[in-house]
């Protein structure tokens, strides 16, 4: 079965991508897995300066998901470009660089630096809930999204994917803002803000007090948002949130995603990410589809 997919102008051999932050830069996993099983690489968020991230504990397990407050730990853009990018390029896959900043000008400066031809797209992280400025505070305001994406659009020819937060009343308003400013795709969803409590300590478990919920618990929310956006915008959608099986991934395609990303499940079972493309193809064929791209948007609504 054909597994090729396109997100705007970017072509992928299969629709399976790692979700930012759950895969590092792929360098460690490449020692154990054949990276060609993936459609591309999505990096951990890259910021202008090196960031140590939030204090510990910054990860907590909940009954059906993971709560994290990493706080965008990363070595900064210069180290990314000077050291990491060459190693990621060895996988010979399209690279999507996840960019995060405190202000509009950080995103513009970061985008200006992403010149390498193997960088296929810039995924603007307007959705991290674990930092005090930037990211989600921009991504919850349609006017700010439009302002930021328009500014980045002016300085780059790379495809722009806008990663949206589910922590809003109407995600289609945010997706439309991104589209109207020249985004090539939207990625959704990032994590849902949550809290978990240590009764004996009478304190939140996470040092940041709150964190972002990911994993199986959030999949119904993510599917609903992909389906809403698919009907509201013309640009493609990259779907994620709780994918743990081939059926989950196909549900995202059916709801309208052109490609999918797998995050938390990779931390539980890295095998999944690398076998998912084949498993999706097999399951799609059992369901009567001739190709994976045929699954995209094939959901039939009751009314
Ligand atoms: C530990 C961890 C770190 C993350 N770091 C980032 C990040 O740097 N940039 C980003 O856009 N999303 C980040 N995310 C969000 C994921 O990319 C993804 O949107 C979210 O976890 C939902 O997918 P999942 O349920 O498959 O994990 C992170 C998630 C986790 C669990």
d(Cα 67, Cα 298) in Å, to the nearest integer? 32
Assess whether the C-beta atom of 241 lies below 6 angstroms from ligand 1: yes
Is the confidence at residue 298, as pLDDT, over 90?
yes
Instruction: Give the pLDDT confidence score for residue 131 in this predicted structure.
Output: 85
Is the confidence at residue 29, as pLDDT, over 90?
yes
Instruction: Give the pLDDT confidence score for residue 54 in this predicted structure.
Output: 96
Rounded to an integer, the average pLDDT of 260-285 is 97
Q: What single DSSP character describes residue 49?
A: S
Query: How confident is the model over 86-122, as pLDDT tens digits?
Result: 999 999 999 999 999 999 999 999 999 999 999 999 9
Rounded to an integer, the average pLDDT of 131-160 is 94
Mean pLDDT (the chain, rounded): 97
Catalytically active residues are: 128
Is the confidence at residue 130, as pLDDT, over 90?
no
Per DSSP, the residues of 221-283 read HHHHHHHHHHHH-SS-EEEESS--SHHHHHHHHHHT-SEEEE-HHHHH-HHHHHHHHHHHHHH
Is the confidence at residue 216, as pLDDT, over 90?
yes
| CATH number for the domain running over 5-53+73-193+219-295 | 3.20.20.70
Is the confidence at residue 136, as pLDDT, over 90?
no
Assess whether the C-beta atom of 54 lies below 6 angstroms from ligand 1: no
Quickly tell me which residue has 């849902």 as its tokens: 192
Assess whether the C-beta atom of 215 lies below 6 angstroms from ligand 1: yes
Q: Which residues neighbour 170 within 8 Å (Cβ) at sequence distance 6 or greater?
A: none
Mutate to test the pocket of ligand 1, among 22, 72, 206 (most ligand atoms within 8 A of CB): 22
Distance 289 CA to ligand 1 centre (A): 30
Assess whether the C-beta atom of 214 lies below 6 angstroms from ligand 1: yes
Predicted confidence band of residue 209 (pLDDT cuts 50, 70, 90): very high
Query: How confident is the model over 151-170, as pLDDT tens digits?
Result: 999 999 999 999 999 999 99
Q: Give domain limits for the chain.
A: 5-53+73-193+219-295
Mutate to test the pocket of ligand 1, among 190, 222, 261 (most ligand atoms within 8 A of CB): 190
């Amino acid at each position: 079965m054909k597994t090729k997919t396109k997100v705007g102008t970017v072509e992928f051999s299969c629709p399976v991508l790692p979700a930012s932050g759950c895969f590092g830069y792929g360098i460690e996993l490449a020692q154990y897995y054949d990276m060609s099983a993936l459609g591309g690489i999505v990096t951990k968020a890259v910021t202008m300066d090196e960031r140590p991230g939030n204090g510990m504990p910054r990860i907590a397990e909940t009954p059906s998901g993971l709560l994290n407050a990493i706080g965008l730990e990363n070595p900064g853009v210069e180290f990314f470009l000077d050291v990491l990018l060459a190693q990621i390029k060895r996988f010979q896959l399209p690279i999507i660089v996840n960019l995060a900043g405190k202000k509009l000008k950080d995103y513009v400066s970061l985008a200006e630096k992403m010149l390498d031809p193997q960088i296929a797209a810039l995924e603007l992280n307007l959705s991290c809930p674990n930092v005090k400025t930037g990211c989600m505070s921009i991504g919850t305001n349609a006017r700010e999204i439009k302002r930021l994406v328009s500014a980045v659009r002016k300085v780059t020819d790379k495809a722009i994917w806008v990663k949206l937060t589910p922590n809003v009343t109407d995600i289609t308003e945010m997706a439309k803002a991104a589209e109207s400013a020249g985004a090539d795709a939207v990625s959704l969803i990032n994590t849902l803000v949550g809290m978990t409590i240590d009764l004996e300590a009478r304190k939140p478990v996470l040092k940041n007090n709150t964190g972002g919920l990911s994993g199986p618990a959030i999949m119904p929310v993510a599917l609903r948002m992909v389906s809403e956006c698919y009907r509201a915008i013309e640009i493609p959608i990259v779907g994620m949130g709780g994918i743990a099986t081939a059926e989950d991934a196909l549900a995202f395609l059916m709801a309208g995603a052109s490609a999918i990303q797998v995050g938390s499940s990779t931390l539980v079972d890295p095998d999944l990410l690398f076998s998912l493309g084949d498993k999706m193809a097999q399951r799609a064929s059992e369901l009567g589809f001739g190709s994976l791209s045929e699954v995209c948007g094939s959901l039939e609504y009751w009314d």
